[in-house]
């Protein structure tokens, strides 16, 4: 599949950057331009930026498998992974399925876990009933509504996929960064991932879902300090 990516520097250590839903690899550009000690590989995940869209509705395993194909095509056998939100879903699955390819990971506000909500279940049931009487009724999160039609099936598969069993099998040292003001991927996700991933560290900030992209020098230093420690 056609994959758009940007490669910066030519160093022994490769850091792969995976963006969140609705974004592309450019969100990491201000950060990677401050990182001179690694080969920085920023990838447009499939369906975003200038990369080809999936031929059908993909789940996170499909993304992880395609990521392996892409890296092998670039002759990269192992790398560090930095990911945000949806990119974190892909990173979790990738690190579980291909542990020999992942050295260290830094996950900013990673998605991938589900929590049972009675209120949400009631709302979903109500919508299904109401939909039978009103065919024009619109429901779903803001992310779902903003998602292009050809990716809606993929979005549904991803958000309904709980990655608990995959997180439990991760062996790579992992840094988790979550903000107290993050409503998209709340702090409970970071705390649970910290319990699931054996060799992990959790940093709690005062920020929101995109704090990593706001304080670029701080983010670059955080990544390098963890990876090159």
Residue 149: per-residue pLDDT:
93
Lowest-confidence segment of 49-63, 129-143, 159-173 by average pLDDT: 129-143
Residue 119: per-residue pLDDT:
36
Q: Is the pLDDT of residue 135 over 90?
A: no
Render pLDDT for 163-215 as a digit per residue (tens, 0 to 9). Answer: 999 999 999 999 999 999 999 999 999 999 999 999 999 999 999 999 999 99
Instruction: Return the CATH superfamily for domain 5-116+149-227.
Output: Alpha/Beta hydrolase fold, catalytic domain (3.40.50.1820)
Q: Is the pLDDT of residue 146 over 50?
A: yes
Lowest-confidence segment of 141-145, 166-170, 172-176, 219-223 by average pLDDT: 141-145
Q: Output the six-digit token pair for 186.
A: 């709340």
Show me where the domains of the chain are located: 5-116+149-227
Residue 121: per-residue pLDDT:
35
Burial of 68 from C-beta contacts in 10 A (0-12 / 13-18 / 19+): middle
Lowest-confidence segment of 1-10, 97-106, 144-153, 160-169 by average pLDDT: 144-153
Mean pLDDT within 8-17: 97
Share of the chain above pLDDT 90, in %: 85
Q: Output the six-digit token pair for 93.
A: 């699955």
pLDDT band at 141; cut points 50, 70, 90: low
The radius of gyration computed from the CA coordinates of the chain, to the nearest angstrom, equals 18
- As a whole number, the mean pLDDT across the chain is 91
Q: Is the pLDDT of residue 229 over 50?
A: yes
| CA atoms of 106 and 38, how far apart (whole Å) | 15
Residue 145: per-residue pLDDT:
79
Lowest-confidence segment of 106-115, 127-136, 177-186 by average pLDDT: 127-136
Lowest-confidence segment of 3-17, 19-33, 103-117 by average pLDDT: 103-117
Mean pLDDT within 118-126: 37
pLDDT band at 116; cut points 50, 70, 90: low
Among candidates 57, 70, 68, 69, which has minimal Cα distance to 97? 68
Among candidates 166, 170, 202, which has minimal Cα distance to 187? 202
| CA atoms of 229 and 224, how far apart (whole Å) | 8
CA 43 from centre of chain: 12
């Amino acid at each position: 599949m056609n994959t758009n990516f940007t490669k910066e520097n030519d160093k022994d250590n490769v850091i792969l950057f995976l963006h969140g839903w609705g974004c592309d690899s450019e969100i990491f550009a201000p950060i990677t331009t401050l990182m001179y000690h690694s080969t920085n590989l920023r990838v447009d995940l499939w369906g975003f930026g200038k990369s080809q869209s999936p031929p059908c509705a993909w789940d996170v395993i499909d993304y992880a498998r395609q990521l392996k194909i892409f890296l092998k095509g670039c002759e990269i056998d192992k790398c560090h992974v930095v990911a945000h939100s949806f990119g974190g879903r892909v990173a979790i699955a990738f690190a579980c399925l291909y542990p020999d390819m992942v050295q260290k990971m830094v996950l900013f506000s990673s998605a991938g876990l589900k929590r049972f909500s009675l209120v949400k279940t009631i709302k979903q049931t109500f919508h299904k009933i109401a939909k039978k009487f009103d065919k024009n009724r619109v429901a779903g999160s803001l992310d779902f509504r903003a998602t292009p039609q050809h990716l809606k099936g993929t979005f549904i598969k991803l958000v309904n996929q709980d990655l608990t069993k995959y997180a439990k099998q991760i062996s790579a040292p992992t840094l988790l960064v979550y903000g107290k003001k993050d409503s998209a991927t709340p702090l409970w996700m970071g705390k649970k991932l910290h319990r699931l991933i054996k060799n992990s560290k959790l940093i709690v900030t005062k920020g929101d879902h995109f704090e990593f992209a706001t304080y670029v020098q701080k983010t670059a230093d955080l990544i390098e300090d963890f990876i090159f420690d």
